[in-house]
Structure 1
Amino acid sequence: MAGSRDTADAPPGPASSDGPPRQAAAFFVPGGVKHLDTLDLERLAESFTLWAAGARRADSAASRRRVRLIFLVIRHTGARLGEVLAIDDRTDIDLSGGVLVFGGGEGEARREVRLPEVLSRELTRAMADPGLFPFHGRLFHLDQGFVRRKFYERATACGLQKDMANPSALRRSRAIELMRQGAPLLVVQKILGHSTPVLTASYLDFSEKDRRRIERRVLAREAKRKTSARNSFYGKVTRVLQGDMQSIVEIATLGGHSLISVITNESLDILHIRPGTFLTAEIKAPFVVVTAGPTPPATSAENVFCGVVEKVVAGELTGEALVRLADGTRICAAVTAESVRALGLSPGDTAFASCNAFAVVLRAD
């Protein structure tokens, strides 16, 4: 949020004393810098999605989808609003190559930015949308003032200060998000097209080959956090309760879930965990309990998730049940084959997956 002193993801262990600390562990956001963190960006994106889906007339629906697409490009590339509004969707978007081209006009330097998986999917969908066919070639060509007003409206609608959806704040937010994920400062500078580094890093340099390699690695890790890993949640620490030997850590995930973990105080210090830290929480499959039916189970487990059974597999001795949550997260429970049969679960059934706080492992990467 605006004015926060957010710390970035901490490394798995303490920084080495004989070398510089990792950038993601060392930087913080100064107090006056307006930006949104990853959870707030996802909340704003959801506001745009609901708004676009709520249009009743065809012309209004097309206009809203175009504004939403402009937001998504800025949110995932950190481009300037003027750059996005100048995109020619026939020539500047290379979906097969996975890149988006900015600039290249008279007096402008051409800049290629790799497309994150989520943005590539959205652009592919837009290119195939019959309602947007009349706008091909000028899909992004909307009035700046109109776009800014709609950005401010969406921010207000989801409980954010309207100026937090200013294109410059969104651009800054993407830069901070990339640095939190370990992208070196000068790589972020080149992705966003800054003339100078946002933070002091003049001693760093990267070849174009290195930049592309690092960018691919960061985007792949981001996609994995959001979509592919089973029993894995990515989110922000909202509260830490420290005891004499162990600590309770509460996490708000990207999908809107609340998760509780208990870790040792030593791990808390090593991972530099505090409110505002972003990290990955993993649950070991043997510690997940699945309960059939639409009624929440009577359990002492701190973490209970409602979902739909996606797959049930029974082997000779063991089996597994896979429960898909509303946000797409999959939770796998490893159980005995006898338990699989006793549960009587079938794909499509409503079920609850639960685990206690001691089964949740935290990784600050």
Structure 2
Amino acid sequence: MNIQFINLKAQYKAYKDEIDTAIAEVLDSSAYVMGASVGELESNLSAFCGARYARAVSSGTDALLIALLALGTQRGDEVITTPFTFIATAEMIALLGAKPVFVDIDEMTYNIDPEKIESAITSRTKAIIPVSLYGLPADMDKINAIAKAHNLAVIEDACQSFGATYKSKYSCNLSYIGVTSFFPSKPLGCYGDGGAMFCNDEALDEKIGSILNHGQIGRYIHKYIGLNGRLDSLQCAVLNVKLRHFKEEIAKREQIARIYTENLHNLILPVIPQDRTSVYAQYSVRLTSGNREAVLEALQHRGVPTAVHYPLPLHLQESLAYLGYTKGAFPVSEKIAREIFSLPFSAFLSEQEQSYIIESLNALLG
């Protein structure tokens, strides 16, 4: 079989008429930037997550940058985060001249370990950025409590977890600021780069709205140093359509994950604590036998694509070597990076495809 890692074409075909109509409406309006679909999307996102305010943003990476700017992050500040995630989280901290301070992860959830955060806090600490990895929210109550005790802000990097819940509240609405990504491969994705930001503070929302539009508070009146972080009208139109179907897709994702979990053998499978749900941005499993690359190559020969999220923790990346971390600094992250890999997954993975993937993997692992 020739299986797609994420079947975006099948999703487009399912919603084709609605998406084509929404795109045509933007083209007819010629309002390609800050058109009606932008405000509509922000209202829809706010209603979905339960956050008072939502802002459409050009990417999840830009959302992280804007959040840090909104907090007044500057050179010399420290921001605590995880070394086991995509580089954008630490990259935006470093870009502002602040220092990423890493804390190791919990071995079961792969999210930042709250028990290790407090020892990393110093007088220079500005904020904590937990990442809700692979679609599963971090333990936000514990993290928020630590932050409150030390007068720190929490930015939830929910770039992989839009639609997931923690204690019945939606990810993106679990901290002072929530940010997410709508990159095409995300659980809710647009047709290019895109993202959003969420908060419940009016003054903070106004500052975010200004920073993402060159720091403007009026036409050609610039209060802040900002950037062009706007999300264009075409992407918003696509997201408005997809959001209408998103809860159905979440249910389907949960069903597909359950089938994987019930039928795969000889692997460490995702652990979802009882107080949370996951949207399975990736369905990631671990192979502890040390022959991961051979298994992935054999799967590829059978037409089953895989991916490794993430093979090299951030503290070992050349771009962040100046931080002074060495191999062994975060043993759990390093262990997971050696063992983990992700299987094909989307709401449009067919039963036949999934059965073939399971049979192929079980046959290889015995």
* Fold equivalence (TM over 0.5): no
Higher Cα radius of gyration: 1
TM-score band, normalised by the shorter chain? Answer: under 0.3
* More RCO (CA 8 Å, sep 6+): 2
Scaled by the length of structure 1, what TM-score is found?
A: 0.28
Indicate the structure with greater strand content. 1
Scaled by the length of structure 2, what TM-score is found?
A: 0.28
